[in-house]
């Protein structure tokens, strides 16, 4: 058991912090992973993750409140719900995929537990980050983070000489 004081990230002028505010709780990204895999029933997610019902219910409420998940009734008396990702929730797939690829490379001594099949070309593939302007493959050292239009001068994210 840990005693943890949760400071909200909501006031931080940083998009990484805003993403974490929504999906940064322990367990939440694995719930999103299961929803991306179309596991939609409370009991199925609970069984797959081995998580307590209380914690799962609390996390799903949080995701619903933030517009990541919507409840769809599939039965009445008593009403039962499927949990389905919204467009905002599905947009998290690059985050989950980047985590998976990192884990495959750095923490999967027995080989990747899963692989990504690209339906159009039929191959098992990796995701290659490329530039939206010149289409070149991107590496960390190719990039520089600069202040954007939503930067808060009182709370600058970017220090001098930042690379990413």
Touching its own copies, residues 5-64 (CB under 8 A): 5-7, 9, 13-22, 24-26, 29-30, 33, 36-39, 50-51
Q: Which is nearer to its own copies, 27 or 81 (CB)?
A: 27
Residue 157 beta carbon to its own copies: minimum distance, rounded to whole angstroms: 5
The interface with its own copies within residues 70-109 (CB under 8 A) comprises 88, 90-109
Is residue 154 a contact point for its own copies (CB under 8 A)? Answer: no
* Residue closer to its own copies (CB basis): 43 or 142: 142
Q: Residues touching its own copies: how many (CB under 8 A)?
A: 97
Which residues 6+ apart lie within 8 Å of 74 measured at CB? 80, 81, 82
Of 10, 32, 11, whose CA–CA distance to 21 is shortest?
Answer: 10
Q: How far is the CB of 10 from its own copies (least distance, A)?
A: 9
Separation in Å, CA 35 to CA 58, 142, 161: 16, 33, 39
Find the angle CA(92)-CA(9)-CA(53) to the nearest 5 degrees.
65
Least distance (Å) from its own copies to the CB of residue 98? 4
**Residue 31: count of CB within 10 angstroms of its CB:** 26
CB of 82 to its own copies, least distance (A): 14
Q: For 83-119, b where at least 16 C-beta lie within 10 A, e where not — what string?
A: bebeeebeebeeebeeebeeebeeeeeeeeeeeeeee
> What residues form DSSP beta bridges with 83?
71
| Residue closer to its own copies, measured from CB, 18 or 65 | 18
Q: How far is the CB of 87 from its own copies (least distance, A)?
A: 9
Q: Is 65 in the site for its own copies (CB under 8 A)?
A: no
Q: Which of 75, 78, 79, 110 binds its own copies (CB under 8 A)?
A: 110
Q: What is the chain's Cα-based Rg?
A: 19
């Amino acid at each position: 058991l840990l005693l943890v004081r949760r400071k909200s990230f909501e006031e931080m002028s940083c998009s990484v912090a805003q993403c974490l505010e929504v999906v940064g709780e322990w367990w939440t990204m694995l719930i999103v992973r299961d929803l991306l895999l179309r596991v939609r029933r409370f009991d199925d997610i609970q069984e797959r993750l081995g998580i307590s019902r209380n914690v799962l219910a609390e996390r799903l409420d949080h995701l619903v409140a933030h517009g990541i998940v919507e409840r769809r009734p599939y039965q009445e008396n008593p009403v039962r719900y499927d949990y389905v990702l919204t467009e905002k929730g599905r947009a998290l797939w690059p985050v989950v995929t980047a985590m998976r690829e990192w884990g495959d490379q750095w923490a999967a001594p027995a080989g990747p537990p899963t692989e990504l099949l690209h339906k159009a070309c039929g191959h098992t593939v990796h995701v290659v980050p490329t530039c939206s302007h010149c289409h070149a493959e991107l590496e960390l050292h190719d990039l520089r983070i600069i202040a954007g239009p939503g930067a808060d001068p009182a709370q600058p994210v970017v220090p001098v000489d930042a690379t990413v």
